[in-house]
Amino acid sequence: MTSSEPAERPEPYVQVRGPVRERYALITGASSGLGAAFADRLAQNGYSLVLVARDEDRLSAVAERVTGRYGTRCEVLPADLASAADRRAVEERVGRGVDFLVNAAGFGVSGSFWSVESAALDAQLAVNVSSTQEFTRAAVAHMLENDGGTVVNLSSITGLVPGRGSTYAASKAWVLYFSQGLSHALRGTNTRVMVLAPGFVRTEFHARAGIDVRTVGDGWWMDPHDVVDQCLVDLRRGKTFSMPGIRNKAFIAAVSRLPRALAQRVNRMLGNAGARA
Ligand SMILES: NC(=O)c1ccc[n+]([C@@H]2O[C@H](COP(=O)([O-])OP(=O)(O)OC[C@H]3O[C@@H](n4cnc5c(N)ncnc54)[C@H](OP(=O)(O)O)[C@@H]3O)[C@@H](O)[C@H]2O)c1
């Protein structure tokens, strides 16, 4: 069995009251990596998809793939999430009703914080943080008034260990705190917010960010479909935090038990913070 074939077919996550109706999942960052893997799995689960990213051709290729495999109905919604106007268009689509939202669009900026263009940092904040906040708000407001639903926000183990870079890590810490706080606020409702915090995943992320990963051992890497499968298993178990990979769990458990000063020293050594904005 390859990792693009799930071990089991997960149950739907949204409990629909009344007659069965078409269920929608909107995925940002769906043209590549983890977002594209979510598209595969949610299509397999019977969701109709709304696929968001900048590259329309790649979104269409994902749409063709899942339509060919599962007969999925797909809307392709090209948007640059660094642009407020494009975010409004996506927010408007989310507000019309989705049952499952995945905020996977995100990127990192390499280079020292003080030398990179301000515009690149603003774009990173807009894509990693603002879009997550705006789309989650629109989704949750609709979900609470209707059949409930699920939001999955992409953080990272980087968001759990201060010192591994500055703005990217901070954006992922924001996603973690935001999602966990919101999931507490939603307790007792039929609407769930899950935060997904992967370690190293084989996607285009590092190449796009210009991060040299040659020293990262094979054992640290995960396939995006495996990460998504574990996230969906954790959702079915009622968890609101998912950190796939035994090594990642062991690393975070070890670092979080160290005294803060020592943990910072380990992170400085491993994270090459000066080269990561
Ligand atoms: N890979 C890892 O090791 C890892 C680990 C932890 C967390 N993460 C997080 O996982 C998420 C998905 O990343 P990935 O690993 O799948 O990387 P990826 O393969 O580079 O995918 C990133 C996605 O984000 C989209 N995107 C980037 N900038 C955008 C913009 N301005 N507007 C709209 N969409 C934009 C890209 O699409 P277009 O270029 O078509 O716009 C692409 O679909 C990110 O939030 C990342 O921070 C990744």
| Domain CATH for 105 | 3.40.50.720
Rg (CA), the chain: 18
In a domain, residue 9? The reply is no
User: How far is it, in rounded angstroms, from Cα 136 to Cα 103?
Assistant: 8
- What six digits make up the tokens of 21? 């109706």
Residue 277 has pLDDT above 90, yes or no: no
> How many structural domains comprise the chain?
1
Amino acid 261: pLDDT: 86
- What six digits make up the tokens of 259? 């005294």
In a domain, residue 12? The reply is no
Pocket residues: Cβ below 6 A from ligand 1: 29, 31-35, 53-55, 58, 79-82, 104-107, 127, 154, 156, 198, 200-201, 203-205, 208
User: How far is it, in rounded angstroms, from Cα 46 to Cα 73?
Assistant: 9
Nearest CA to ligand 1 atom 8: 156
- What six digits make up the tokens of 1? 């069995």
Residue 15 has pLDDT above 70, yes or no: no
Q: Which of 52, 203, 241 to mutate to test the pocket of ligand 1 (most atoms within 8 A of CB)?
A: 203
Nearest CA to ligand 1 atom 9: 154
In a domain, residue 221? The reply is yes
In a domain, residue 8? The reply is no
User: How far is it, in rounded angstroms, from Cα 24 to Cα 97?
Assistant: 8
The arithmetic mean of pLDDT across residues 220-247, rounded, is: 97
pLDDT-above-90 percentage for the chain: 78
pLDDT tens for 121-136 read 999 999 999 999 999 9
pLDDT confidence bin for 162, thresholds 50/70/90: confident
Residue 185 has pLDDT above 60, yes or no: yes
Residue 269 has pLDDT above 90, yes or no: no
Domain span including residue 262: 24-275
pLDDT-above-70 percentage for the chain: 91
User: How far is it, in rounded angstroms, from Cα 65 to Cα 220?
Assistant: 29
Q: Mean pLDDT in the chain?
A: 91
- What distance in angstroms lies between residue 128's CA and the mean position of ligand 1's atoms? 9
168 assigned to active site: yes
Residue 151 has pLDDT above 70, yes or no: yes
Q: Which of 32, 172, 211 to mutate to test the pocket of ligand 1 (most atoms within 8 A of CB)?
A: 32
Amino acid 222: pLDDT: 98
Q: Where are the strands (E) in 114-205, listed by range?
A: 149-154, 191-196, 200-201
Amino acid 18: pLDDT: 52
In a domain, residue 218? The reply is yes
Amino acid 92: pLDDT: 98
Gap between the terminal Cα atoms of the chain: 39
In a domain, residue 188? The reply is yes
In a domain, residue 14? The reply is no
Contact present, 30 and 62 (Cβ < 8 Å): yes
Q: Hunting for tokens 């595969």 — which residue is that?
A: 40
From 13, 24, 47, 168, active-site residue: 168
pLDDT confidence bin for 30, thresholds 50/70/90: very high
Collapsing DSSP to helix, strand or coil, 203 comes out as: coil
Q: Which residues contact 58 (CB under 8 A, 6 or more apart)?
A: 31, 32
In a domain, residue 192? The reply is yes
Residue 3 has pLDDT above 60, yes or no: no
